[in-house]
Amino acid sequence: MNNQSSITRRDFLLQASVLSSSALLLSNGAQGAAFKKYKMGLQLFSIRDAIAKDLNGTLKTVAALGYQDLEIYGYDGDSMKYYGLKAADFKTLLDGLGLTTTSGHYMFSQYLNKPEDEMMRYVDQCIEGAKILGQPYITWPWLDPEYRTIEKFKSLTLLLNRIGERVKNAGLGFAYHNHDFEFIDHNGENGYDIIMRETDSALVKLQIDLYWTMHSSKLTPAELFNKQPGRFVMWHIKDMDKVSRDYTELGNGSIDYTQILPLADKAGLQYYYIEQGGNFAKNSMQSITDNAIYFKKNLEKYL
């Protein structure tokens, strides 16, 4: 991939604007940075368009904005590549920018209609990639629509336990990430209740997407944390538009994070990732800039 050749004048001007904002972020945050319990994380899916154009330049900007930790997506297990780079080369790139990655969204769902030995082969590939990157967690991020029935959720819990045991035996952690469909009511049952009840909390941790929880769950994050304290080891932090209920930049929406972030100890929080999957006010890079500025100014103090 020739990343540099694809940079247009418009891309250059945008990057310059974003970097000027990052200077303010760094000056405001540097004094207290040594005392922060958590690194400010970013789920890279937020900027998938920018990454496709220029991986190196985009990650350089991410670091300049004050993000320190990343959650990745899009791993190619057969080639052991992240974003077109061999795992070791991607790790070198991150190291050079002072970035870490503590979790990845690995696409297990594509193996659900295949023999289990193929699934476990992919699990082993994920373990190998995660270890090269130094990721403590491997995360299951998605279920295709045909696997969202109550019967399928019950079968899924058995598989999640088996994968969790395999990952734990390799010295890593395994987690499940929710969307909205886990909270759909099926005659008094929902998928998230089944996952919480039927998976072993020692083998399967929970990465709670706070946007989708506020969007679709009958229970608040606080109520979920109280049900299983210590299990919600990772959080996705993003805001919800007050009218459309779509994604929006932090501070523009309806989710009151001042009531959620102080619950980190109860939840068992280890890592968080700011994310915005779309509906950008201008573009993805400006949105992660605005999110970083708002988070550092208004929310980081609660963690």
* Six-digit token string for 146: 């045909």
Q: How confident is the model at residue 24 (pLDDT cuts 50, 70, 90)?
A: low
Q: How confident is the model at residue 141 (pLDDT cuts 50, 70, 90)?
A: very high
**pLDDT for the residue numbered 29:** 47
Q: For 10, what's the count of Cα atoms within 13 Å in the CB-facing half-sphere?
A: 5
Nearest residue to 61 (alpha-carbon basis) of 113, 26, 90: 26
* Six-digit token string for 10: 């418009």
**pLDDT for the residue numbered 111:** 97
pLDDT cut 70: percent of the chain above it: 88
Q: How confident is the model at residue 36 (pLDDT cuts 50, 70, 90)?
A: confident
State which residues form the domain around 140. 4-302
Q: Which residues of 206-240 are buried (b: 16+ CB within 10 A; e: fewer)?
A: bbbbbbbbbbbbeeebeebbeeeeebbbbbbbbbb
pLDDT at 32 over 50: no
Average pLDDT over residues 251-278: 98
* 3-state class (DSSP) for residue 247: strand
Q: How confident is the model at residue 11 (pLDDT cuts 50, 70, 90)?
A: low
pLDDT at 30 over 50: no
Structural Rg of the chain based on CA atoms: 19
* Six-digit token string for 73: 């997506």
Q: How confident is the model at residue 31 (pLDDT cuts 50, 70, 90)?
A: very low
pTM assigned to the model: 0.90
Q: How confident is the model at residue 158 (pLDDT cuts 50, 70, 90)?
A: very high
Q: How confident is the model at residue 17 (pLDDT cuts 50, 70, 90)?
A: low
- Mean pLDDT score across all residues of the chain: 92
**Residue 249 contacts by C-beta under 8 Å, 6 or more apart in sequence?**
239, 276, 280, 281, 287, 290, 291, 294
Compute the distance between CA of residue 257 and CA of residue 91 in angstroms, rounded to an integer.
32
Coarse DSSP helix, strand, coil percentages of the chain, rounded to the nearest 5 percent: 50, 15, 35
**DSSP secondary structure, 78-133, as one string:** TTTEETTEEHHHHHHHHHHHT-EEEEEE--GGGGTTS-HHHHHHHHHHHHHHHHHH
Q: How confident is the model at residue 175 (pLDDT cuts 50, 70, 90)?
A: very high
Compute the distance between CA of residue 196 and CA of residue 219 in angstroms, rounded to an integer.
13
* Six-digit token string for 65: 């904005």
Compute the distance between CA of residue 254 and CA of residue 256 in angstroms, rounded to an integer.
6
* 3-state class (DSSP) for residue 44: helix
**pLDDT for the residue numbered 6:** 43
The per-residue pLDDT for range 59-100, each reduced to its tens digit, is 999 999 999 999 999 999 999 999 999 999 999 999 999 999
pLDDT cut 90: percent of the chain above it: 88
Q: Report the number of distinct structural domains present in the chain.
A: 1
**pLDDT for the residue numbered 16:** 52
**pLDDT for the residue numbered 3:** 43
* 3-state class (DSSP) for residue 40: coil
Q: What is the CATH number of the domain that holds 120?
A: 3.20.20.150
Average pLDDT over residues 289-303: 98
